[in-house]
Amino acid sequence: MTRGDVRGRTRRLARRHVLRLGGGLAAALLLCGHTPYGHWVVYRKKHLLIGCHRADPETYALAKRVVAELAAHLPAAKARPARAPDARRLASLLGTEQMDVAILSAGDAAAMAGGSGPFEPYGAIGLRLLTPVGDHLLICRQDFRERHAWLVTGALSGTSVVPAGETAAGGAIPWHPGSRAFLEGKPEPAPDPPPDGSSADPD
């Protein structure tokens, strides 16, 4: 299977994914609790937020390019940029499960993963690599769903935002298993089972 085959399949799957995300949204509505912020939680589940920050303006430019590519190739993600004032705020959001995905410089990503330097107050945060973007990294929480990582990496692969010739070789931030699976030509992982036995896809 060529990279092009995989990308074409990714886009077909993305259309099916729209329906699954709809079901997932319904599940999220049930799970989000009755807080004033419940729908904010749903918003953050409904949209794949691409974290970036003002202190490194390049991350915002890259986030907008990533969002544009995902809109074209994985529209079900409903991706949106989410610009924090600095990388410390991203650490807070990633560390408290308020955000799943962000763009960071390699140095910030390594420091955040290790809980060192300015990120010491947030402790070590389990981060995984989805793909390099420009000269930065698109990273995610380590519990980001394997299938979602496969779809995101697949949707961005071959686009102008990803440097040519990316491989699953190791780096400072380990690849997410779903992303590595895509790069190694493995099939899309199966959706996780619904948490309550209902027919809704929990994605």
Partner 1 sequence: MRVSYALGAAVLCGFAGTAAADTTDVTWQTKVVLEKQGEHCVDDPNCFNRYHPAIPPAARAKPGDMIVLHTRDALDSDLNLDSVADDLAAVDLNLVHPMTGPVHIEGAERGDVIAVTLVDIEPDQYGYTVIVPGFGFLRDLYTEPYLVNWKQSRTHAVSDQMPGVKVPYEAFMGSVGVLPGQPEVESWLAREAALGAAGGIALPPQPVGALPSAVCGPEGPHKDECLRTIPPRENGGNMDVQQMQVGTTLLLPCFVDGCGLFAGDVHYAQGDGEVSGTAIETGAVVTLSVEIRKGQGSVITGPEVEGGTQIKEIEPSKFYQTIGLPLKAAGEVPPPHAYLESEKIADLTNLSEDLVVAARNALIKMIAYIQREHGLNREQAYILASVAVDLRIGQVVDVPNYIVTAVLNEDVFEE
| Binding residues vs partner 1 (CB under 8 A) | 33-44, 47, 49, 51, 53-54, 60, 80-86, 89-90, 92-93, 96, 98-99
Helix (H) or strand (E) segment spanning residue 141? strand 136-141
Of 118, 115, 187, 109, whose CA–CA distance to 146 is shortest?
187
Rounded Cα distance between 87 and 16, Å, is 35
CB of 189 to partner 1, least distance (A): 27
Question: Residue 53 or 128: which CB sits closer to partner 1?
Answer: 53
Of 177, 168, 106, 183, whose CA–CA distance to 148 is shortest?
177
Of 77, 47, 79, whose CA–CA distance to 63 is shortest?
79
CB 69 within 8 A of CB 62: no
Rounded Cα distance between 157 and 153, Å, is 6
Grouping H, G, I as helix, E, B as strand and the rest as coil, residue 137 is strand
Question: Residue 27 or 49: which CB sits closer to partner 1?
Answer: 49
CB of 32 to partner 1, least distance (A): 9
CB of 86 to partner 1, least distance (A): 8
Question: Residue 91 or 181: which CB sits closer to partner 1?
Answer: 91
DSSP letter assigned to residue 199: S
Question: Residue 98 or 174: which CB sits closer to partner 1?
Answer: 98
Rounded Cα distance between 93 and 26, Å, is 23
CB of 126 to partner 1, least distance (A): 17
CB of 183 to partner 1, least distance (A): 29
Question: Residue 93 or 155: which CB sits closer to partner 1?
Answer: 93
CB of 139 to partner 1, least distance (A): 15
